[in-house]
A = this chain, B = another copy of it.
Amino acid sequence: MSYLTSSPIDVASLLLEARDSDGALCLFLGVVRNENEGRPTTGIQYEAYGSMAETEMERIARLLATEFPDVELRMQHRVGRLSVGEASVAVVALSPHRSEAFAACRAAIDRIKTTVPIWKKEFHPDGSSHWVDPTKK
């Protein structure tokens, strides 16, 4: 399965089939909001450097597998034009106990946001748009 998808993220299928030893599942969903930094938003265009984003998410998965050996991790990031309320990213962490499930899920989404080459252009009610720069806050 690839980490990027241009179709709506199928959350139900990401949740399926825990291992018999899994007692905990933590899912994180990033959802398109109706505002950002105080400005109303009507939608977001996600653009990826696709081949590198796949490589980078694979690298994140490999590192987290070392840091959390009991955790099974599933990640998917959507690309394309999304409306308010749609999921842009999903991370699922399954593990025997809940502490590692929460920690691995949180670490995964934090790293995805930091290193995976994906960009977003926000659209506003007045028709204008701009590329989001998280380093300028």
Contact = CB atoms under 8 A, between A and B. Distances in A.
A49 to B, nearest CB: 23
A84 to B, nearest CB: 5
- The secondary structure that dominates the A interface is mixed
Interface residues of A, number: 30
Given A23-B30, A30-B23, A18 B85 contact: yes
Given A12-B12, A18-B85, A85-B18, A23 B27 contact: no
Contacts of A34: 20-21
B106 A20 contact: no
A106 B28 CA distance: 12
A109 to B, nearest CB: 6
Interface of A: 11-12, 15, 18, 20-35, 84-85, 87, 96, 98, 101-102, 105-106, 109
